[in-house]
Amino acid sequence: MSLLLALIGRDLRLSLRHGADTIAVLLFFFLAGLLFPLAIGPNPETLGRLAPGIVWVCALLAALLPLDRLFGADFEDGTLDQLLLSGLPAAAIALAKAAAHWLTTGLPLLLAAGPLAVMLRISPNGLPVLLACLVPGTFALSLLGTAGAAIVLGARRGGVLLPLLVLPLAVPVLIFATSASSAAAVGLPVRPHFLLLLAVLAFLTPLAPLAGGAALRAAAE
Q: What is the CA radius of gyration of the chain?
A: 18
Q: What is the pLDDT of residues 22-39, one digit of tens each?
A: 888 999 999 999 899 888
Summarised one tens digit per residue, pLDDT across range 166-206 is 999 999 999 999 999 888 888 889 999 999 999 999 999 99
Q: Give tens-digit pLDDT for 69-88.
A: 888 777 777 788 888 887 78
Residue 6 has pLDDT above 70, yes or no: yes
| pLDDT greater than 70 at residue 138 | yes
Residue 40 has pLDDT above 80, yes or no: yes
Task: Annotate the chain with three-state secondary structure.
Answer: CHHHHHHHHHHHHHHHHCHHHHHHHHHHHHHHHHHHHHHHCCCHHHHHHHHHHHHHHHHHHHHHHHHHHCCHHHHHHCHHHHHHCCCCCHHHHHHHHHHHHHHHHHHHHHHHHHHHHHHCCCCCCHHHHHHHHHHHHHHHHHHHHHHHHHHCCCCCCHHHHHHHHHHHHCHHHHHHHHHHHHHHHCCCCCHHHHHHHHHHHHHHHHHHHHHHHHHHHHHHC
Give the pLDDT of residue 158.
67
